[in-house]
Amino acid sequence: MMIKPNILQKGDKVALISLSGGLGGEDLFRHRVALGKKRLEEVFGLEVVITPNALKGCEYLSSHPESKAEDLHWALKDDSIKAIFSIIGGNDSDKIVPYVNVDEITKHPKIFCGFSDSSVVHFLFYKAGVQSFYGPSVMCQFAENVKMHDYTVQAIQNALFSNKPYEIKSADKWCGHMLDWSNEANDNIIRPMNEETHGIEFLMGDDTQGELVGGCIDTFPRVKEAKLFDNVNWDNKILFIEPSDETPTPEEFLGYLELLKNMDVFSKINGIIVGKPKFEKYYNEYKQTLIKFLNDNNYNLTVVYNVNFGHEDPITILPYGAKLTIDTKNKKILVNIN
């Protein structure tokens, strides 16, 4: 049983942190951090602080992983801080692993939210036995141009401000369009949206349930190298996976599946949910690769595809350790945090 951090309430203090890339500290991108901070304050009524080293820039944070770990300890030990939000992802969260005192996470359980390379940090929380939340980051979803997506706002309310069960539904629209963050004027341009034509796809298998565990599949080799998978009991879990915005090729995607196969993951879990691919690139190829892989290896699993989490906006939140129920008959996905 994982330790459940307290839910957020209006007026709570939260911290913004950079445990991976330092993009938020670069002059060209500080406006994105400021905008995300403003949304946390104005949309959710939170008091927001920034950890001491978070805005020191890419070069400094890349060279000083111990400073990023110090920020995590700082935020954990401050009892007035109720949640920690990742400013941005990147590709080197694994560098902090030797410097993090996991006992501090266990002693000071609180919400941690982020996605992408933050997967590494989520598995540190998992090792500590504390539930964390695969969801929005400051510079991405909170700093969405003009206004946050309603779908994401509702997901935050469901997962972080409540402990009631909620259903994950398909978003009616998805974004699939990027604007240059370095141009602050773009913050005032609404990104065009695409109509959702697929919806959530229930590809195979029967009704099932299990505790959630997973992340950005591109990070899994580094999670494994950091020995953080050693702490996961995969029995009867629901694995959630999504490819990064670097859009790995179908061959690379298959390689990540093989990595999990070699850890005997697929013979133990109950099901898989897959996030919407960025730009819907390789949408059919990923789906076909996964189905063929499972069939070729005789894995009888329930598989749900094109769920709104990960790198393509808008997104929901997936709480680690929460019970996920996949109702294939009624085509529903239900999350129970308790």
Task: For residue 314, say if its preceding peptide bond is cis, omega within 30 degrees of 0.
Answer: yes
Query: pLDDT tens for residues 29-72?
Result: 999 999 999 999 999 999 999 999 999 999 999 999 999 999 99
Query: pLDDT tens for residues 72-128?
Result: 999 999 999 999 999 999 999 999 999 999 999 999 999 999 999 999 999 999 999
Query: pLDDT tens for residues 192-232?
Result: 999 999 999 999 999 999 999 999 999 999 999 999 999 89
Taking the C-alpha atoms of residue 62 and residue 19, their distance in angstroms, rounded to an integer, is: 10
Q: Looking at this protein, which amino acid is placed at residue 209? A: Q
121 and 191 co-located in one domain: no
What pLDDT sits at residue 54?
Answer: 98
DSSP assignment, residue 8? Answer: P
- Among 139, 164, 189, the domain boundary falls at 164
**pLDDT exceeding 90 applies to what percent of the chain?**
99
177 and 323 co-located in one domain: yes
> Which residue range(s) make up the domain with 309?
173-336
What pLDDT sits at residue 227?
Answer: 97
pTM over 0.95: yes
For residue 286, name the pLDDT band (cuts at 50, 70, 90): very high
Calculate the alpha carbon distances from 241 to 138, 290, 297, 326 in Å: 21, 11, 19, 15
* pLDDT at residue 316 is higher than 90: yes
* pLDDT at residue 16 is higher than 90: yes
Taking the C-alpha atoms of residue 8 and residue 262, their distance in angstroms, rounded to an integer, is: 39
For residue 1, name the pLDDT band (cuts at 50, 70, 90): confident
What pLDDT sits at residue 219?
Answer: 97
- Whether 6 is in a domain gets the answer no
- Whether 315 is in a domain gets the answer yes
Q: What's the angle, vertex CA 276, arms to CA 310 and CA 212, rounded to 5?
A: 55
Query: pLDDT tens for residues 245-265?
Result: 999 999 999 999 999 999 999
Calculate the alpha carbon distances from 305 to 91, 170, 243, 302 in Å: 25, 11, 12, 10
What pLDDT sits at residue 302?
Answer: 98
What pLDDT sits at residue 338?
Answer: 78
Taking the C-alpha atoms of residue 160 and residue 10, their distance in angstroms, rounded to an integer, is: 11
What pLDDT sits at residue 47?
Answer: 98
Closest CA to 299 of 251, 334, 255, 257: 257
60 and 153 co-located in one domain: yes
- SS3 call for 252: helix
- Whether 307 is in a domain gets the answer yes
82 and 216 co-located in one domain: no
For residue 142, name the pLDDT band (cuts at 50, 70, 90): very high
Number of domains in the chain: 2
130 and 221 co-located in one domain: no
Taking the C-alpha atoms of residue 118 and residue 21, their distance in angstroms, rounded to an integer, is: 10
What pLDDT sits at residue 238?
Answer: 98
- Among 102, 133, 164, the domain boundary falls at 164
Find the mean pLDDT for residues 121-141.
Answer: 98
Closest CA to 137 of 222, 20, 26: 20
203 and 306 co-located in one domain: yes
For residue 331, name the pLDDT band (cuts at 50, 70, 90): very high
208 and 264 co-located in one domain: yes
